Structures are given as structure tokens and as C-alpha cells.
A = this chain, B = another copy of it.
Amino acid sequence: MQPEVVPAGTPGEATRARVERAALDLFASRGFENVTSDEVADAAGISRRTFFRYFATKADAVWGDFAGHVARLEALLAAGDPGQPVLASVCAAYVEVNAYPDSQLHLLRERMQLILTEPALLAHSQLRFAEVDRAVARYVAVRTGESPDRLVPRLVAASTRAAATTAFEAWLADEASSLVDQLRVALEEMAGGFLALRR
């Protein structure tokens, strides 16, 4: 693994990516709970202590650049068409931010499979997804002129996120399906008030 020269740029960026890969592989093959942070660190060639400098918790190692994901969502919301209804803007941004190139979909599937399947990771996900909720609620608040912690902004954030998460589950369950299609269907169904169920 090279004498680790690191000519320029962020020094540990390669290391961080290596640890993420090791973690993802180990968790996927043996289960999150059955892998110790020591084993992940060993597999990545660093000490356990250093592992916890890269990631605050064992669970955080599977999230990749989630902060960047949230930032991109916020950017999409900010850049969206203000003539469009609020709810439609949020749904569009949710679909758009998950329109990954094919080359990245496999990795995303791996991550989400773990996050939505492993109990400890599912629990932890609540804390990360809450960042998304806050971003969406802020946007809805701006658009509606309300405070971000009033009912409607929170409600839109919580509901769209629930729909998006369900779409991810459906995508994981069907190997052949398209993520953005699942997102579109789920978000439209929910945002439309479940018209199909009004019989």
C-alpha cells in the first residue's frame, strides 16, 4: 500500500474510503452485530482508536458522504421552480437527489440493504434521516412562510421521507426495479392522498 506519501489534498481521504469498503464488506458478509470495530480496523490496516476518529460510531461507517447527500438535496430544493407547488418541489428534489448514475447504484444498494435490514443500523438511521427532515421542513417553512417547527412543515418532511424510505425498501426487494421509478410511484401515491384506496 505505497509508502503513504500523500502529495496533496486531504491526507486521509484514501484511508477513509478503504475503511468504508472494509466495513461494508464485513458487515454484508457476516452481519453488523457479528463484526467488531477491531475487525474492521484490522481489515483496513488501522487501529481501533483511529477507526473511531474517522467515524463517531461503528454505524457511521456505512453512510458514505451522507452530509453531501443532504447538502445536494438542499441545493436542489433551493434551485427548484418556485412556481411549482411546495409538495411537488419536495418530491421532485427527492427523486432528483437519488438519480445516481448506474455505476454508483450497486454501492448504494449495498449501503441501503444494510441500513434498512440490520436492526442496529435501522435504529441509527433515524438520527441521520432526521437531518434530511430538518432540511425539508426548513424549505417548506420558507415556501409557506411558517416556522420550521410548525405542524405542516414537519408533516411534509416526515411523510415524504417515509414514502422515500418505503420506495427504497421496494427497490431493494426487487433487484430489477429502478430506484427513481420506485421513488416517483411512492411519492406520488402518498402526495396524492392514496387515491387508489378511496373506494
A interface residues with partner B (beta carbon < 8 Å): 85-87, 119, 122-127, 130, 144, 149-152, 154-156, 158-159, 161-163, 165-167, 169-170, 173, 182, 185-186, 189-199
Contacts and interface: CB of A to CB of B under 8 A. Distances in A.
B197 A144 contact: yes
A34 to B, nearest CB: 18
Contacts of A86: 197
Contacts of A197: 85-87, 144, 152, 156
Given A166-B154, A169-B154, A124 B123 contact: yes
Given A124-B123, A193-B193, A163 B155 contact: yes
Nearest to A194: B87
Identify the interface centre among A154, A170, A185: most chain B CB within 10 Å of its CB: A154
